[in-house]
Amino acid sequence: MRNPTTRPPLTGTRLKQLLATALLATTLGACMSSTSPTTGPGTGKDDPLPVKSRQETLDWAKQLTEHLAQSAGIRINAEPADPVFTSCVGRNGESAPDDRYQLIYGVHSTVPDAQHDDVVRKVRDRLTAEGLTITEYQESHGAEPDATVSARHPSSRYVVDVASTAGHDRMVLSVTTPCLMPPSAPPAPTPTSTP
């Protein structure tokens, strides 16, 4: 008889899923984190922005959408992704001349209409387990698919969305980053004076 307090060892696919989830939760959350060792989590409007190059941010968003697709058991279409970098604009229309930016990254997946609700359920469950806050959730009602799930990471402030799109058999997976600061350019060389 097996001892009820011991569990069988994790092997195969389940072990790979758990390891991948742990790795992604750690790296994805930290990737956009604005936590400072001296001030703690960034929650104020005057906190320094996370520093990330545009290419690093693009790579991260691609990795996250692939994770979402894998979680839902769907494939991302081979068509080009739709990355849009925009300048950061404050609530009152203010902006800064320091190249801060936000990325909105989207990809599409061919998913039969009848499976849209199942996809958003799986994504909702995965994101909840990874500590994100679900901000919107809707399953389809009626003939047209209209399923959606949106979630926000509590400390990193990035937002993910998975939703039915116009037409049939199609869903969009997208990531919106918070405002990010590109790495500083190396300082210009100081001119040397000649006597």
pTM (2 d.p.): 0.72
DSSP string, 45-72: TTSPPPB--HHHHHHHHHHHHHHHHHHH
Confidence at residue 142, expressed as pLDDT on a 0 to 100 scale: 81
Q: Where are the alpha helices (H) located in the chain, listed in sequence order?
A: 12-31, 54-72, 116-129
Element (H, E) at 138: strand 133-138
Fold of 71-183: S-adenosylmethionine decarboxylase (3.60.90)
Q: Are 123 and 149 in contact (CB under 8 A)?
A: yes
- Mean pLDDT on 79-84: 93
Which pLDDT tens digit goes with each residue over 2-37?
333 333 333 444 334 433 333 333 334 434 444 433
The helix-helix angle for 116-129 and 54-72 (nearest 10°) equals 120
Structural contact between residues 77 and 171, judged by C-beta atoms closer than 8 angstroms: no
